[in-house]
Structure 1
Amino acid sequence: MDAPQQTLTPMPDDFHWKPRCHLDTLPTGLFLHGEIVASMHQRIDGAWLARLHADDGLDTPLVMRRSTSFDAGRKGCELWALRHERALRRKVAIKLKWIQDNVVLRGRGRPLDLQDAASSH
């Protein structure tokens, strides 16, 4: 189930759904270049919440919305991501650049193509 899943809404190829972690059996995370930008969370009563990952950091507010169903929440996440695509691409490009500069060992593998990550489609 780790294979990327198609989106419900026509979106750029860089966006796809897949499980957030190895314990998920459903595609609960919307990813952009491997970075999560939105996710679905099931409440203990079975209802679904959509979480929008607009900003990072401990001091940023948690943005969550109730969903009438799993697919309705996924569609809402996709529409939100489309509305904020440019900002999400900037955020992900900055994070990938930081990872490349501070985490990736120099000289191993090929550098990330940050122009593709930052450009809007």
Structure 2
Amino acid sequence: MDADTQTLTPMPDGFYWKPRCHLDTLPTGLFLHGEIVASMQKRVDGTWLARLSPEEGVHAPLLLRRCSSFDAGRRGCEMWAMRHEQQLRRKVAKKLQWIQDHVVLRGRGKQLDPGNVLGPAASR
């Protein structure tokens, strides 16, 4: 994994940083198994906001936090993700299962394993 995609703090398996889209030059999205769970957004005044995504959908709360710097915001996103790890893993597993059931063509390519997303803590 590139240095740009590594987390700033030691995190559980599956979490990594990468650009949210092809226009980003910095690792602005915190991903869990390919699904974005938090992101950094630059304001027009040059400061940064952290956007935390505990839920999805139109009615999901928009959680934004001001950051003193880009790296401070990334660390904050990582700390938040560790506090909400099990909830985020369930959310991502549910989404990957939906993709598996409705999008992935059976018999072609690798099957997704939602059990792998939940991690070792889920088997307790």
TM-score category of the 2 structures, normalised to the smaller one: over 0.9
Per-residue displacement from partner, 1:22-78 (whole Å, max 9, x unpaired)?
000000000000000000000000000000011000011210000000000000000
Q: So what's the TM-score if we normalise by structure 1?
A: 0.94
Structure 1: runs of 5+ lacking an equivalent: none
SS across alignment from 1:50: strand
Deviates more, 1:73-82 or 1:109-118: 109-118
Amino acid in structure 1 at the alignment position of 2:66: R
Distance 1:87 1:40, change over 3 A: same
Aligned to 1:98: 98
Aligned to 1:75: 75
The structural deviation recorded for 1:115 is: 1.3
Q: Which runs of 4+ in 1 moved over 4 A?
A: none
Q: Are the counterparts in 2 of residues 3 and 18 from structure 1 also a CA contact under 8 Å?
A: no
Q: So what's the TM-score if we normalise by structure 2?
A: 0.92
- Supply the distance in 2 between the matched residues of 1:29 and 1:103 (Cα, whole angstroms): 24
Identity of aligned residues (%): 69
- Supply the distance in 2 between the matched residues of 1:5 and 1:73 (Cα, whole angstroms): 15
Q: Please give the root-mean-square deviation of Cα atoms over the aligned residues, in Å.
A: 1.5
The structural deviation recorded for 1:13 is: 2.8
The structural deviation recorded for 1:114 is: 1.6
SS across alignment from 1:40: strand
Amino acid in structure 2 at the alignment position of 1:37: V
**Structure with greater helix percent:** 2
SS across alignment from 2:39: strand
- Supply the distance in 2 between the matched residues of 1:108 and 1:66 (Cα, whole angstroms): 44
The structural deviation recorded for 1:119 is: 2.4
Aligned to 1:49: 49
Structure 2: runs of 5+ lacking an equivalent: none
